[in-house]
Structure 1
């Protein structure tokens, strides 16, 4: 049950990253003009989806605080690397980003590191 706090931290974090990417992509290119930049940012900040990603960032922080009451930081923190794994696969699925051999090798090394680190 204690590992659920780590899992929730990861899931809330990944949700936020995917939602922000999605909404920024829909918003278009970042403007060049100073006033247009401010309007662009304000529009994104008031976007309900972006707001939900901020709520999830807050929930991730709360989950992480709970995890820190149960585990040493040196044990729990490597699990945060699973966010990289999930983001890569979800980015490929939702945004058609390429999954290359170097990325796959890197992710395999991350997972191997988590396995080894969680044993020690």
Structure 2
């Protein structure tokens, strides 16, 4: 993976993580969904700026990923995009004050090691 391909990967990961941030922020504004308020929540999604921004970020991430797929094999791009999971956990920890149990840290380290092995070129 060359520097341009790596930049596309990072762009896709960053915009997807940004999308998760805005979706979580918007979801917190909506509150919990119950059977009584499901219809109003679905309608609220259409007018909540954070949720629309989150969906837009996901769209940009998908575009970057498509451009990456024109340059690298799916067997490299697919597993590499799993870095979104790592950064999402870090986002949850630093922004939303979510706990990270040791088992989750171990899992994240496996993801990072796996991505390194997938993109490693001799």
Rounded Cα–Cα distance in structure 2 between residues aligned with 1:48 and 1:25? 12
| Number of the residue aligned with 1:18 | 21
How many angstroms does 1:45 deviate by? 2.3
Normalised TM-score (structure 1): 0.91
| Cα displacement (A) at 1:106 | 0.5
1:2-25 residue CA offsets vs partner (Å, 9 max, x unmatched):
221111111111111121112112
In structure 1, what is the Cα distance between the partners aligned to 2:66 and 2:116?
Answer: 22
For 1:52-91, what aligned pairs fall within 5 Å after superposition? 52-91=53-92
Q: What CA RMSD, in Å, does the superposition of the two structures yield over aligned residues? A: 1.3
2:52, 2:26 → 1: CA distance? 11
Residue 116 of structure 1 corresponds to which residue in structure 2? Answer: 117
The alpha carbon displacement at 1:26 in A equals 2.2
Following TM superposition, by how much is the alpha carbon of 1:104 offset from its aligned partner in structure 2, in angstroms? Answer: 0.5
C-alpha distance in 2 between matches for 1:59 and 1:112: 26
Structure-2-length-normalised TM-score = 0.89
Q: How many residues align?
A: 118
Please say if residues 31 and 40 of structure 1, whose CA atoms lie closer than 8 Å, have aligned partners that are also in contact.
no
Where does residue 49 of structure 2 map in the other structure?
48
- Matched-pair contact (CA < 8 Å) for 1:31–1:37: yes
- Counterpart residue number, 1:93: 94
Structure 2 alignment gaps of length 5 or more: none
Please state whether the residue corresponding to 1:2 is helix, strand or coil. helix
